[in-house]
Amino acid sequence: MKHSAINLEQKLAGFDDLWSPKIVAAFNGHDVMVVKVNGEFNWHSHPDTDDLFLVLSGRLTIQMRDGDVVLGPGEMYVVPRGVEHCPRADEETHLIIIEPAGTPNTGDPETAVVKTKI
């Protein structure tokens, strides 16, 4: 087995679609994903899992009903399970998201984007 580092810049350079997480690794039953975002996503919650956002570049505002959290490069926030939130980026922003494998990004399998491995 060959061991090698995962180059996140290369992974991010390999796609242009927004709000479509790409799985780059698995970690203890969790998907480690990179995603490009711009604009506003949708209000949603995850009843059974927390939602981790780590900003690689750009700025992300995580809107919540009781106040926003603004993140810059190198900053992260974990939205607690069940908390309704709406991520928004006013410029293209690159993120790492970690969540249990199979978690729908909208909180609802009917409306979720299909995650692909890259």
Instruction: Establish if 112 belongs to a structural domain.
Output: no
Instruction: Establish if 74 belongs to a structural domain.
Output: yes
Instruction: Establish if 85 belongs to a structural domain.
Output: yes
115 DSSP assignment: P
Listed in sequence order, the residues at least 6 apart from 98 whose beta carbon sits closer than 8 Å to its beta carbon are 27, 30, 31, 32, 33, 52, 54
Instruction: Establish if 38 belongs to a structural domain.
Output: yes
Instruction: Establish if 34 belongs to a structural domain.
Output: yes
Instruction: Establish if 99 belongs to a structural domain.
Output: yes
Which candidate, 44, 52, 42, places its Cα nearest to that of 19? Answer: 42
- Residue 68: CATH number of its domain: 2.60.120.10
Q: What is the mean pLDDT of the chain?
A: 91
Q: Rounded to whole angstroms, how far apart are CA atoms 91 and 45?
A: 23
Instruction: Establish if 113 belongs to a structural domain.
Output: no
**Tens digit of each residue's pLDDT (9 = 90 or more) over 51-88:** 999 999 999 999 999 999 999 999 999 999 999 999 99
**Tens digit of each residue's pLDDT (9 = 90 or more) over 93-109:** 999 999 888 776 655 66
Question: Where in the sequence is the domain holding 85, given as residue range(s)?
Answer: 8-103
* Average pLDDT of the segment spanning 3-24: 95
Instruction: Establish if 109 belongs to a structural domain.
Output: no
In the chain, the number of structural domains is 1
